[in-house]
A = this chain, B = another copy of it.
Amino acid sequence: MARVKAKVDALILEHLLPTVSPIKEIALLYEMMRDYPERPAKGLRSLFCVTTCKALGGSEDDALLTAACIEILQNWILIHDDIEDGSELRRGRPALHRKYGELLAMNAGDALHARMWGVLLQNKDRLGADTALQVMEEFARIVNETTEGQHMELAWVVGRRWDLDESDYLAMVSRKTAWYSVAGPCRLGGLIAGAPAAELDRLREFGLKLGVGFQIQDDTLNLVGESSRYGKQKADDIREGKRSLILLKALKEAGHEDAARVTAIMQRTRQEKTDNDVNRVLALMKHCGAIAYAQHTAQQFLADALAVLDTIRWSGDAAAVQLLHDVARFSIERQW
């Protein structure tokens, strides 16, 4: 795992992102584009891509450039998400817009987005024009899904919507997170390995299950995990006003008065929320079993994902198949 991550990081930082410009303003832009990629991260998404490729008979080297683009994708999305969500921290350090302001950060996200497509074009030299184009088609789909999911969540924020069902949540999170975190990376690995369409369909199913479970787990860690290892403020999702599965479940299970009280707190801005507010919401989430419910649901999604994984006809490296199972398990069982 660590070896693939080191290769992908080196590729991104030493070859794919720009470094120097004689114009000092532009040198600052390059520094901003490199900022998130230089921060420590798990690199799970690129690992899904490379490992799936190997498990389906493809070579690691064929998948590295695409894996690097998955990390670049993740980073430009985070730059824009952090602005849109008003996040303070990212990977334990100030969010990019907190360091440089929203205007420059927004544009740096655009620059990194375009750079991702520019890098994807280089796939032509190793994979040939047709596969390079197929890989880009998958990226186009991934970004479509991600922006649709992001729009759904933002529309709820702007519309002050709290009357949401679990099905609304699942429709949002499968688009916003599961596609670019797991379904897309795995399908890209399969594509590069030359896997047939039926296997790519199963990889999508696996990825959506695992990706949704991954996000639900992420949301529970935000509330009860160790913030120093996790790299965000503790219970930052409550401060942010996030419609997590946990919150929606708590609103549903709580009595009318408690629900109204929690909604009123959640509706406050980050600045307006006191620590006491946050602790009251957290206490209700625990008390009504919403956190335990979310943890259980995440495990259910993991089990479903692993079951799909077992239906895939692997044609490659057995160690990679095993690693894929392990990474899937880790991504939901991790405690940070």
A26 → B minimal CB distance (Å): 5
Once bound together, how far apart are the Cα atoms of A103 and B81, in whole Å? Answer: 9
Residue A140 interfacial (CB < 8 Å): yes
Residue A307 interfacial (CB < 8 Å): no
The contact string, 1 if C-beta is below 8 Å from chain B, for chain A 142-158, is 01100110111011111
> Which of A113, A132, A151 neighbours the largest number of chain B CB atoms within 10 Å of its CB?
A151
The stretch of A37-45, A117-125, A194-202, A286-294 that contacts the partner chain: A117-125
Chain A positions 73-113 with a Cβ under 8 Å from a chain B Cβ:
80, 83-84, 100-101, 103-104, 106-108, 110-111, 113
The contact string, 1 if C-beta is below 8 Å from chain B, for chain A 194-233, is 0000000000000000000000000000000000000000
Residue A114 interfacial (CB < 8 Å): yes
A58 → B minimal CB distance (Å): 20
- CB atoms of A115 and B144 under 8 A apart: yes
Q: Which of B104, B114, B144 contacts A158 (CB under 8 A)? A: B104
Q: Which of B23, B118, B136, B147 contacts A171 (CB under 8 A)? A: B23
Residue A272 interfacial (CB < 8 Å): no
Once bound together, how far apart are the Cα atoms of A84 and B83, in whole Å? Answer: 13
- The oligomer's copy count stands at 2
**Known contacts A28-B151, A152-B26; is-contact A118 B103 (Cβ 8 Å):** no
Q: Which of B104, B106, B152 contacts A25 (CB under 8 A)? A: B152
Once bound together, how far apart are the Cα atoms of A152 and B27, in whole Å? Answer: 10
Q: Which residues of B contact A154 (CB under 8 A)?
A: 103-104, 107
A151 → B minimal CB distance (Å): 4
Q: Which residues of B contact A155 (CB under 8 A)?
A: 25, 28-29, 104
Residue A35 interfacial (CB < 8 Å): no
CB closest chain-B residue, reference A114:
B143
Residue A133 interfacial (CB < 8 Å): yes
A281 → B minimal CB distance (Å): 22
Residue A137 interfacial (CB < 8 Å): yes
Q: Shortest 7 CB-CB distances between A and B: which pairs?
A: A118-B140, A114-B143, A129-B129, A111-B147, A29-B151, A25-B155, A25-B152
Chain A interfacial positions (CB closer than 8 Å to B): 23, 25-26, 28-29, 80, 83-84, 100-101, 103-104, 106-108, 110-111, 113-115, 117-118, 121, 124, 129-130, 132-133, 136-137, 139-141, 143-144, 147-148, 150-152, 154-158, 171
